[in-house]
Amino acid sequence: HFISRRAMNIDGLGPETVDMFYRLGLIKNTADLYRLTADDIKGLDRMGEKSAENIINGINQSKEVPFERVIFALGIRFVGETVAKKIAKAFKNVEELENADLETLISIDEIGEKIAQSILNYFSNASNRELVRRLRETGLQLYRTEEDLSRYTDKLAGQSIVISGVFTHHSRDEYKDLIEKHGGKNVGSISAKTSFILAGENMGPAKLEKANKLGVKIMNEEEFLKLIS
């Protein structure tokens, strides 16, 4: 989970390689990855010098991954990508999250008692706190940067948005991220509660018909990007 594309996205490092590092005693947890050198791993099973350097470069580049994705990468139960984004918006750094109480956590949008309790349970575990401390020392972004702050607005607060079609300027996943960063909510199906549809090329005819029937506004890419700019 930690190294996956939607989490730390460490280039060149797959589950099999991580398993090998673990079996050989090179790592015991995710923080140990950041202590590895190319000399430690070159010469291992099918691991040439170039492959070793690529993995170490990928590990080092993951230190640029933003706060929200590092939170997601921690693997806290029930904390998916959307909740991780809400947490990153609510807390300046991981220390604030670690010290948050139940009342503070459940006051955050989309965090109910079950998720809040899971976060409390995670940070009540001494080994988890030690792991987070070590990850912080390696230089991971366990805090909000000025760039992170500039990406968040409330321009889409309270709006439920459906994405449909093929896009030119951004991928669907990127548009989903933009919607959430501006306070909106991604929904999968059209209803009377849908605020608008972000429509690319080849929007499905059934969705188009339903939108027209319910009077839901359809917005193209350019209109959407202008709205959030």
The residue-averaged pLDDT of 206-223 equals: 96
Q: How far apart are the first and last CA of the chain?
A: 33
Together in a domain, 73 and 142: yes
* pLDDT of 220: 97
CATH of the domain at 224: 3.40.50.10190
Q: Is residue 128 part of a domain?
A: yes
Closest CA to 138 of 26, 62, 28, 66: 62
Q: Is residue 8 part of a domain?
A: no
Q: How many domains does the chain have?
A: 3
* pLDDT of 204: 87
Q: How far apart (Å, rounded) are the C-alpha atoms in residues 79 and 50?
A: 36
Together in a domain, 19 and 47: yes
Together in a domain, 20 and 35: yes
The residue-averaged pLDDT of 171-194 equals: 93
Q: Is residue 82 part of a domain?
A: yes
The residue-averaged pLDDT of 44-67 equals: 94
Together in a domain, 180 and 214: yes
**Phi-psi map region of 117: left, alpha, beta (phi>0 left; psi -120 to 50 alpha):** alpha
pLDDT band for position 17 (cuts 50, 70, 90):
very high
Amino acid at 117: Q
CATH of the domain at 51: 1.10.150.20
Together in a domain, 204 and 173: yes
> Which structural domain, as residue segments, surrounds residue 35?
15-62
- pLDDT tens by residue, 157-174: 999 999 999 999 999 999
Question: Average model confidence (pLDDT) for the chain?
Answer: 94
Together in a domain, 185 and 138: no
- DSSP-derived letter for residue 29 is S
The answer on pLDDT for 146 being more than 90 is: no
Together in a domain, 76 and 141: yes
The residue-averaged pLDDT of 97-113 equals: 96
Q: Is residue 5 part of a domain?
A: no
Report if pTM > 0.85: no
String of DSSP letters for 62-92: GGGS-HHHHHHHTT-TT--HHHHHHHHHH-S
Q: Which residue has the tokens 């996943």?
A: 173
The residue-averaged pLDDT of 138-165 equals: 89
* pLDDT of 110: 87
Together in a domain, 131 and 93: yes
Amino acid at 40: D
Share of the chain above pLDDT 70, in %: 100
* pLDDT of 181: 86
* pLDDT of 201: 94
The structure tokens listed for 68 are 């929200």
Q: Is residue 7 part of a domain?
A: no
pLDDT band for position 109 (cuts 50, 70, 90):
confident
Q: Is residue 6 part of a domain?
A: no
Last residue of a domain, one of 130, 149, 168: 149
Together in a domain, 111 and 76: yes
* pLDDT of 147: 75
The answer on pLDDT for 19 being more than 90 is: yes
- Asked whether 158 and 115 are in contact (CB, 8 A), the reply is no
The answer on pLDDT for 148 being more than 90 is: no
Q: What are the residue ranges of helices labelled H in the chain?
A: 15-23, 38-41, 49-61, 67-73, 81-90, 94-98, 102-106, 113-124, 126-138, 146-151, 172-181, 205-214, 221-228
The answer on pLDDT for 135 being more than 90 is: yes
Q: Is residue 9 part of a domain?
A: no
Together in a domain, 179 and 197: yes
The residue-averaged pLDDT of 181-196 equals: 94
Last residue of a domain, one of 127, 149, 171: 149
Together in a domain, 134 and 72: yes
Other beta carbons less than 10 A from residue 88's beta carbon: 26
Last residue of a domain, one of 128, 149, 170: 149
Q: Strand order of the sheet with strand 196-199?
A: 185-186, 160-164, 196-199, 217-219
Q: How far apart (Å, rounded) are the C-alpha atoms in residues 113 and 117?
A: 6
- DSSP-derived letter for residue 32 is G
Together in a domain, 110 and 39: no
